[in-house]
Amino acid sequence: MRVSKFFLPVMKETPAEAQIASHRLMLRAGMIRQAAAGIYSWLPLGLRVLRKIEQIVREEQDRTGAHEVLMPTLQQAELWRLSGRYDAYGPEMLRITDRHDRDMLYGPTHEEQITDIVRTAVKSYKDLPLNLYQIQWKFRDEVRPRFGVMRGREFLMKDNYSFDLDESAARLSYNKMFVAYLRTFDRLGVRAIPMKADTGPIGGDLSHEFIVLAPTGESAVFYDRAFDGFEIPGNDVDYDADLQPIVDRWTSLYAATEDMHDPDSGQLPMDDSLISGRGIEVGHIFYFGTKYSEPMGAIVQGSDGEKITVHMGSYGIGVSRLVGAIIEASHDENGIIWPSSVAPFDVGLINLRGDDAGCIAACDDLYGKLSQAGFDVLYDDSTERAGAKFARMDLIGLPWQLMIGPRGLASGYVELKNRATGEREELSMDAAIQKLTDQKGAIG
Ligand code: 5CA
């Protein structure tokens, strides 16, 4: 993509309304625009990141054997009256009346909607276990939407729902999601620690939050330093195998959010192995048994013809929140530093002299070769001064920058800069392409 043809409305000034780095940087980098309080439009640069995150989340869900569906954003109040949540949910639920005076709502979550599908489509124990997920917009009329996409009113969530015959089978489904979450956040380039959690309006008694550490996080967290040494389950993880040992290991150490943290519990390590910090909740998983299946009548026939009320869990990942959370965890004073897996482009190619025929020819050539080699390149072909180009590239945070100017060209080299470390190298064009290819291979 050429900068001259891209829609990249970056801002020089720091927007006054933004209190934290990710919100400021997303506005300045032209990733989002506020449409109303807590409601955002996604511009091309931001949308690319959102889609990349979505795709990694999707791949890791598919790997577990979950099936993707897409439910509507608008739901009938009727279903929520069955579960008792229409009244219980309170003012966070956006309620709408259609032209026939029917009560509708913009879904803050989808337990009722999915249970309605399963209670009508699934009749036999043979159809279970079943795990369905979607990536869909939600609406919660938060009292204080803030921090940009981190606490929005409209936000994108991956939510899935597991259906099992009994509690022990449901526990296996829970464990699959637990492991899938460890892998998902790792692939997204963030360290998320599972912590015991409150279940809130979702209900149930088994629940973990996945928390990314960042000084601007909304909740205080406490966890054992030894988490740092824990390995993430690899590509060869077998979701049909017993995952309890992995879950046991990750839940063996102390890790709790503010709500659950009890200094008098006696569980606290006695030495200084406890870290206290702040964190951002990027995922939340729940097991809640028959809380929805019972009142809504999600019942299957067992092997002896008996009626079994299904056991459910639900599992959320804040997809749009993650864009902000990743930035909170990875930026510097010049801008964003994207982990390569979610970067909007792999490489930024900068022509230092956009009006010089030799530089234009060399950049065009390199742009063609990199694209051919499978790189997503943002090519700054503009005639702005070099300083402005450097600042913009640093702001938008692509992992690599390749710079071509008349001086280097005369001696046959280009400059390659690593955005995260700031390291610069002078290389021949071919060597630069080779280095980028090796890096790409290394992260798979
Ligand atoms: N039904 C369950 C799981 S599917 C549920 O709704 N869980 S939740 O309330 O914990 O939300 C799941 C995730 O969505 C959270 O972990 C968080 O990352 C994200 N999220 C929740 N509220 C917001 C919000 N206002 N803005 C952005 N992301 C949010």
Confidence of residue 221 (pLDDT cuts 50, 70, 90): very high
- Report the C-alpha gap between 442 and 427 in whole angstroms: 20
What are 259's two structure tokens?
Answer: 């709500």
Distance 37 CA to ligand 1 centre (A): 18
- Say if ligand 1 is within 6 A of residue 178 CB: no
pTM, entire model: 0.96
Going by alpha carbons, the residue nearest to atom 16 of ligand 1 is 283
- Residues 284-313 have pLDDT tens digits of 999 999 999 999 999 999 999 999 999 999
Distance CA 283, CA 224 (A): 19
Beta strands (DSSP E) in 117-153 are: 130-139
Whole-number percent of the chain with pLDDT over 90 = 86
109 C-beta closer than 6 A to ligand 1: yes
SS3 29: coil
Closest-lying ligand 1 atom to the alpha carbon of residue 286 = 3
Q: Is 159 in the pocket of ligand 1 (CB under 6 A)?
A: yes
Q: What is the pLDDT of residue 12?
A: 86
Res. 262: pLDDT tops 90? no
The CB density around residue 20, as the number of other CB atoms within 10 Å, is 18
- Is the CB–ligand 1 distance for residue 140 below 6 Å? yes
Whether ligand 1 lies within 6 angstroms of the CB of 321 is answered as yes
Q: Which of 321, 323, 327 to mutate to test the pocket of ligand 1 (most atoms within 8 A of CB)?
A: 321
Model pLDDT, residue 273? 86
pLDDT (0 to 100) of residue 228: 86
Cα of 363 from ligand 1 centre, angstroms: 44
Q: What is the pLDDT of residues 92-113, one digit of tens each?
A: 999 999 999 999 999 999 999 9
Q: Over 60: is that where the pLDDT of 444 sits? A: no
Three-state SS for 86?
helix
The closest of 147, 206, 220 to 178, measured between CA atoms, is 206
Tens digit of pLDDT for each residue in 25-52?
999 999 999 999 999 999 999 999 999 9
- pLDDT given at position 271: 67
